[in-house]
A = this chain, B = another copy of it.
C-alpha cells in the first residue's frame, strides 16, 4: 500500500495513470484501462471519469464531486489522499518521495480507501453463493424495494444484476457533457430568445432520445424514473476564452456577447437559484423537449416489442402550481409524441420532494403527483441551511465538539429531515392513499437511513449500483424490526 484516502466509492480498480479527463477518454478509446488521478474533479471531467476504471483525488471528502459522481456511476473512487502531490504540467504524481508517471500502473480499493502501486488483479463483483442466499432471504421479508440511481445503460445493467427493481433516479444533466451535446446544450442556454432555444433543443432531442432508449431498454419491464433538467445553467456554459470563442463562432455572435450571457448566469447562491423546475417554468421548451425524448424512446421500444416503463419527474417543486404548470407541458408534449408515433405508452408523472415547503404542503402537491421521490441531498441542505459544497469549513469542528454526531449528508437526520419526510408521506397519502414514495438521495444506500425509510412505509429506496445489496439488507432488517 502506498497511500490511504477516503473510501469514496466502493469497488476495486486497476489501470494506467492519466491526469486529464481528455487523456482518459483517448487512452480508453485505444483500449487502455486507466485510473484518472486529479487534485479534484469538476463537471467537465465527467466523460473522462466515465472512461476510467477508477478515480483518485488529492482533495475532497465523501461528498466531493469525485465521490458523488463516482458512486453515481458505480465506479471505484478514493478521494482526499493528502499525501498525493499531483503535477499536471509534468504529468506526474509524487507519493512519499516516489514519483509515478503517466502510464504507470496503480490500483485502488474504493471500499477501504487504499491505494497500491502496480497491477493488483481484480474481478467483477457478482451475486452468488452465500451472498445470493442472503439476498434472497432479504427479499422474503422486505417490503421496501431497492432501485438504483443510474444515468447510463451500463450502470442500469450492473444494478439490475445486483437485484435492483428499477431506476429511482436518472439524472439527465451528465448526458450533456459529451462531445457534440455540450455544444448544442450551450447553444440552447446562450440563445437570447425562445426561437434560438428551440433550434438548439431540436439538435439535442435525438441525443437525449438515444440516451433514454438505452436506459429504458436495459431496465426493460422495470420502472425508470427520469428527472427533468435540474442544475443551474451556469454549470454548462464555458468559462474559458477558448470555449467562449467556439460558441461565438458556432452561434455567429461576438465573444463579448457570449461572455456577457455567461456572466449574467452567475448567481450568489446557485443552490437556491434558478434551477430545477424553475428552469422548466421559465423555459417550458426544455421540459417539452425532454418529454419528447423520453416518450419517443419509449414508443420506439414498444414498437420493437419491449416493455418500457417511464416515469417523468419534476424536480425542486415548492408549490402546487409549479407542478401543475409543468404537468400541462408534459401532457401536451406526450399527446404530440403519441400522435407522431401512432402508439401510446403508459407513463407516470411525479415530483421530487426536496424543498422543505414541498414537504410541508405535501397534501396539496399529492393532488397532482403520482409519486413522491424524496431528494434527501437538497432536503438536507435546506432543512439544515448547510451548503454541501461549503460545509467543510465548519463540519470538522462540529463533529469534534459533538454538535453533530455524523455528517447529515451521509446519514439521514431523523429528528429534523426525517420528521419532514414522515410528515410528507403521511399527508400525501391522506389525499392519495396509493401514493408511491421513495428516496433517491445519497442516503438511499446508507443502512440506518434505508431502515428509517422502511419503517415509515416508503415503497422504495434508490441508491448507486454497488450499494444495492447493502440497501436490500437494510430494507429487510427494517421490515423485521417493525414486526
Given A278-B394, A325-B401, A361-B415, A387:B356 Cβ within 8 A: no
Write the nearest CB–CB distance from A62 to chain B, whole angstroms.
Answer: 17
B residues within 8 A CB of A364?
A: 415
A63 to chain B, nearest CB (A): 13
Residues of B within 8 A of A446 (CB): none
Q: Does A175 contact B (CB under 8 A)?
A: no
- Chain B residues whose CB sits within 8 angstroms of the CB of A267 once the complex forms: 387, 389-390, 393
The contact of A274 among B268, B270, B278, B390, by CB within 8 Å, is B390
Binds B, one of A28-36, A113-121, A416-424, A450-458: A416-424
Pair B389/A269 contact, Cβ less than 8 Å? yes
Contact between B383 and A360 (Cβ–Cβ < 8 Å)?
A: yes
| Chain A 52-99 residues near chain B, CB threshold 8 A | none
Task: Establish whether residues B404 and A319, one from each chain, have CB atoms under 8 Å apart when the complex forms.
Answer: yes
Judging by beta carbons under 8 Å apart, are A383 and B357 in contact? yes
Query: Contact mask A355-370 → B, CB, 8 Å, 1/0?
Result: 1110011001000000
Q: Is A251 an interface residue (CB 8 A)?
A: no
Output the nearest chain B residue to A416 by Cβ-Cβ distance: B357
Closest CB-CB distance, A403 to chain B, in whole Å? 4
Scan residues 364-399 of chain A and give those whose CB is less than 8 A from a CB of chain B: 364, 378, 381-387, 389-390, 393-394, 397-398
Contact string, A258-280, partner B, CB cutoff 8 A, digits 1/0?
00000000011111111000100
- Flag whether A402 is at the interface (Cβ < 8 A): yes
Quick check: A360 and B402 within 8 Å, CB to CB? no
Judging by beta carbons under 8 Å apart, are B268 and A387 in contact?
Answer: yes
Least CB distance from A408 to B in Å reads 9
**A–B Cβ pairs within 8 angstroms, 17 of them:** A268-B387, A268-B389, A269-B270, A271-B387, A273-B393, A274-B393, A278-B394, A316-B385, A318-B384, A319-B403, A322-B403, A356-B382, A356-B383, A356-B416, A360-B383, A360-B419, A378-B385
Chain A residue total in the interface (Cβ 8 A): 48
Of listed A361, A383, A389, A417, residue having the most chain B CB within 10 A: A383
Complex Cα distance, B384 from A355, in Å, reads 6
A341 at the interface (CB under 8 A from B): no
Q: A193 on the interface (CB 8 Å rule)?
A: no
Also in contact, A271 and B274, with CB within 8 A (given A281-B398, A318-B384, A361-B415): no
Q: Is A128 at the interface (CB under 8 A from chain B)?
A: no
Q: Which residues of B contact A394 (CB under 8 A)?
A: 274, 278, 281-282
The reply to whether B387 and A269 form a contact with Cβ atoms under 8 Å apart is: yes
Q: Bound complex: CA of A267 vs CA of B397, how far in Å?
A: 18
CA distance A271 to B385 in the complex (A): 8
Assess whether B383 is in contact with A321, with CB atoms less than 8 Å apart. no
Distance A394 CA – B382 CA, assembled complex (angstroms)? 19
A403's partner among B270, B273, B325, B402 (CB-CB below 8 A) is B325
Min Cβ gap A409→B in Å is: 12
9 more A-B residue pairs beyond the given contacts A321-B401, A378-B385, with a C-beta to C-beta distance below 8 A: A267-B389, A268-B387, A269-B270, A269-B389, A272-B381, A272-B387, A274-B394, A318-B416, A361-B419
Q: From A319, which residue of chain B is reached at the shortest CB distance?
A: B403
Residues in B with CB closer than 8 Å to A355 are: 383-385
A419: B residues at CB distance < 8 A: 360-361
- B390 to A268, Cβ gap below 8 A? yes
Which residues of the partner chain B approach A382 to less than 8 Å between Cβ atoms?
Answer: 272, 356, 382-383, 385
CB pair B357 A417 closer than 8 Å: yes
Neighbouring B residues of A281 by C-beta, 8 Å: 394, 397-398, 401, 403
> Nearest 10 pairs between A and B by C-beta?
A272-B387, A269-B387, A357-B416, A273-B390, A268-B389, A321-B403, A274-B393, A355-B385, A267-B390, A356-B356
How far does the Cβ of A356 sit from chain B's closest Cβ, in whole Å? 4
State in angstroms the CA–CA spacing of A402 and B281 once bound together: 11
Contact call A390/B360, Cβ cutoff below 8 A? no
- Closest residue on chain B to residue A418 by CB atoms: B360
Binary per-residue interface labels of chain A (269-304) against chain B in the complex, 1 for a CB within 8 Å, 0 otherwise: 111111000100110000000000000000000000
When A318-B385, A401-B281 are in contact, do A390 and B420 touch as well, CB less than 8 Å? no
